[in-house]
């Protein structure tokens, strides 16, 4: 049994559904296939959904800044209001503690160039606004079994505060909102469907085959498979043409009780604490979501088979994360038992996503997006549509990279900066960009 479409999108997460929306808006017949039960039920549902702009290149910062305008008026951007509810942007501001070296200086320089308004806070101002912080500088981050973990501070902190950041309150609902809007333009969603073959004919992609024996014939296939994306790229035999690799990374995030006076309702911001290696997102009900910024001292847990991993958080990482947070916030204390989740993120060599074509004509990718690209979903869909449209018009994106002009700034974003052929050491220095 087979049917035809103009494009198949593999993956119904927030970025896959954004791609589907943009392709369907452009007049294509789109079919989205996903192994899961609903839009956003995979790695999207585990996202912290933080909307921030601290990346190390102008193109990456602009992508996040332009996307933020879409999140702030989400229903307006989609052009539809989902009757089942809409994801909501919660503005908190974003506090970033400075660390030695070029890490924070890189995006500060870009912010100044782009005119992104932010404040420079000294130690005294940090303490005045958030008296619960220990403002000592302990860099570099350490494991709790490191003899130096309890050493005294070497100096005091300064920080950057940007007021327009925040988070989306329900990441899975956001993906479903994208899917609802895509369906209004004719996109079809097929859940519980596993792709077992990327089909080709005459040297180009011609569709996909599913586990149930069905085939969907299409001249365009887009890999937005999240933690399964590297499997799909191997299936399509396009890995050889990529300078950037990507694979699933297991990451743990914990939900803890926030100290008194430091809750979302108290105006507590999202926090990037690269000094101790943790981030904090305030949430409703007096809680914090706490996760690592992947410091050098922490082992990265790469997964070979995305079907086989432990979805439960470990006591070891719970202790590391909470003791680091307690170092920064002495009144926090140490919770007695882990509460949170472990999820898989699709991560590239340099932590920068792949929004690109491939060496197989008609096969495109939005890969390496988990963990820090939820915020860029609105532009990710537009990027892929522009690349696909360019290729259909005979323009080689590898030779003439697509340029996207943002409506918020009027500035051009070089989509080629997300190429599979880029220099992996010239773009980023970690998950925080």
Considering the domain boundaries, does residue 423 fall inside one?
Answer: no
Is the per-residue pLDDT at 81 higher than 70? yes
Prior bond of 140 cis (ω within 30°):
yes
Q: How many other CB atoms sit within 10 Å of the CB of residue 291?
A: 22
Residue 159 — φ and ψ, nearest 5°? -150, 170
Task: Give me the pLDDT at residue 433, please.
Answer: 54
Do 284 and 420 form a contact (C-beta atoms < 8 A)?
no
The answer on 252 and 240 residing in a single domain is: no
Considering the domain boundaries, does residue 424 fall inside one?
Answer: no
The answer on 179 and 80 residing in a single domain is: yes
Confidence of residue 427 (pLDDT cuts 50, 70, 90): low
The answer on 109 and 79 residing in a single domain is: no
Last residue of a domain, one of 297, 326, 345: 345
The CATH number given to whatever domain includes residue 408 is 3.50.50.60
The answer on 127 and 191 residing in a single domain is: no
CA distance 282 to 94: 11
Q: What integer is the mean pLDDT of 324-331?
A: 96
Per-residue pLDDT tens digits for 341-371: 999 999 999 999 999 999 999 999 999 997 7
CA distance 19 to 185: 12
Considering the domain boundaries, does residue 369 fall inside one?
Answer: yes
Per-residue pLDDT tens digits for 191-236: 999 999 999 999 999 999 999 999 999 999 999 999 999 999 999 9
The answer on 194 and 124 residing in a single domain is: no
The answer on 205 and 67 residing in a single domain is: yes
| Element containing residue 392 per DSSP (H, E) | helix 377-392
Per-residue pLDDT tens digits for 23-49: 999 999 999 999 999 999 999 999 999
Do 31 and 323 form a contact (C-beta atoms < 8 A)?
no
* Domain span at 78: 2-85+170-245+350-418
Considering the domain boundaries, does residue 433 fall inside one?
Answer: no
Q: What are the CA-CA distances from residue 232 to residues 31, 257, 287 (Å)?
A: 17, 40, 37
Instruction: Map 282-343 to HEC letters.
Output: EECCCEEEEEECCCCCCCCEECCCCCCCCCCCCHHHHHHHHHHHHHHCHHHCCCCCCCEEEE
The answer on 188 and 158 residing in a single domain is: no
Q: What integer is the mean pLDDT of 274-278?
A: 96
Task: Give me the pLDDT at residue 281, please.
Answer: 98
The answer on 101 and 159 residing in a single domain is: yes
The answer on 199 and 72 residing in a single domain is: yes
Is the per-residue pLDDT at 430 higher than 70? no
Considering the domain boundaries, does residue 427 fall inside one?
Answer: no
Note the maximum CA span of the chain.
69
Last residue of a domain, one of 345, 370, 400: 345
More confident: 56 or 160: 160
Q: What are the CA-CA distances from residue 271 to residues 49, 145, 225, 252, 292 (Å)?
A: 13, 24, 29, 17, 11
Per-residue pLDDT tens digits for 389-425: 999 999 999 999 999 999 999 999 999 999 999 987 6
Q: What integer is the mean pLDDT of 233-251?
A: 97
Q: What integer is the mean pLDDT of 286-290?
A: 96
The per-residue pLDDT of the chain, averaged, comes to: 95
Instruction: Map 221-243 to HEC letters.
Output: EEECCHHHHHHHHHHCCCHHHCC
Considering the domain boundaries, does residue 156 fall inside one?
Answer: yes
Strand 30-33, strand 188-190: pairing:
parallel
Last residue of a domain, one of 284, 319, 345: 345
Stated pTM of the model? 0.96
| Element containing residue 172 per DSSP (H, E) | helix 171-184
Per-residue pLDDT tens digits for 367-397: 999 778 999 999 999 999 999 999 999 999 9
Considering the domain boundaries, does residue 158 fall inside one?
Answer: yes
The answer on 260 and 127 residing in a single domain is: yes
Per-residue pLDDT tens digits for 50-80: 999 998 889 999 999 999 999 999 999 999 9
Confidence of residue 428 (pLDDT cuts 50, 70, 90): low
The answer on 302 and 288 residing in a single domain is: yes
Task: Give me the pLDDT at residue 339, please.
Answer: 87
Confidence of residue 106 (pLDDT cuts 50, 70, 90): confident
The answer on 129 and 75 residing in a single domain is: no
Considering the domain boundaries, does residue 17 fall inside one?
Answer: yes
Total length of the chain? 433
Is the per-residue pLDDT at 160 higher than 80? yes
Do 32 and 210 form a contact (C-beta atoms < 8 A)?
no
Task: Give me the pLDDT at residue 429, please.
Answer: 58
Is the CA virtual torsion 260, 265, 269, 271 positive or negative?
A: positive
The CATH number given to whatever domain includes residue 338 is 3.30.9.10
Say how many domains are in the chain.
Answer: 2
């Amino acid at each position: 049994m087979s049917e035809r479409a103009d494009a198949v999108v593999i993956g119904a997460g927030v970025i896959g559904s954004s791609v589907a929306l943009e392709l369907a808006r452009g007049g294509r017949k789109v079919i989205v296939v996903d192994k899961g039960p609903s839009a956003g039920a995979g790695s999207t549902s585990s996202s912290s959904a933080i909307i921030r702009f601290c990346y190390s290149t102008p193109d990456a910062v602009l992508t996040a800044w332009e996307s933020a305008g879409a999140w702030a008026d989400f229903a307006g951007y989609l052009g539809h209001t989902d009757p089942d509810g809409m994801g909501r942007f919660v503005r908190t501001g974003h506090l970033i503690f400075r660390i030695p070296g070029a890490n924070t200086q890189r995006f500060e320089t870009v912010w100044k160039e782009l005119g992104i308004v932010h404040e420079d806070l000294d130690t005294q101002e940090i303490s005045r606004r958030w008296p619960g912080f220990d403002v000592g500088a302990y860099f570099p981050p350490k494991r709790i079994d490191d003899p130096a973990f309890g050493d005294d501070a070497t100096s005091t902190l300064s920080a950057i505060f940007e007021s327009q950041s925040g988070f989306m309150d329900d990441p899975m609902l956001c993906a479903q909102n994208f899917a609802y809007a895509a369906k209004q333009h004719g996109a079809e969603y097929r859940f519980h469907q596993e792709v077992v073959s990327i089909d080709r004919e005459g040297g180009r992609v011609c569709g996909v085959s599913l586990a149930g024996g069905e085939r969907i014939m299409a001249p365009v296939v887009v890999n937005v498979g999240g933690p399964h994306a590297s499997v799909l790229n191997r299936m399509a035999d396009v890995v050889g043409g990529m300078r950037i690799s990507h694979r699933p990374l297991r990451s743990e995030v914990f939900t803890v009780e926030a100290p008194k006076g430091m809750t979302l309702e108290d105006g507590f911001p999202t926090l990037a604490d690269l000094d101790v290696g943790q981030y904090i997102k305030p949430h409703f009900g007096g809680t914090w979501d706490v996760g690592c910024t992947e410091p050098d001292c922490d082992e990265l847990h790469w997964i070979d088979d995305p079907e086989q991993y432990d979805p439960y958080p470990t006591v070891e990482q719970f202790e590391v994360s909470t003791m680091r947070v307690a170092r920064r916030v002495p009144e926090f204390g140490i919770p007695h038992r882990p509460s949170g989740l472990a999820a898989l993120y699709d991560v590239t060599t340099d932590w920068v996503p792949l929004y690109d074509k491939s060496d197989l004509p008609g096969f495109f990718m939005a890969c390496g997006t988990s963990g820090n690209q939820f915020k860029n979903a609105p532009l990710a869909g537009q990027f892929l549509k522009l690349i696909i449209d360019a290729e259909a018009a005979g323009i080689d994106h590898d030779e003439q990279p697509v340029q996207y002009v943002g409506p918020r700034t009027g500035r051009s974003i070089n989509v080629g900066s997300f190429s599979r052929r880029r220099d992996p050491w010239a773009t980023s220095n970690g998950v925080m960009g």
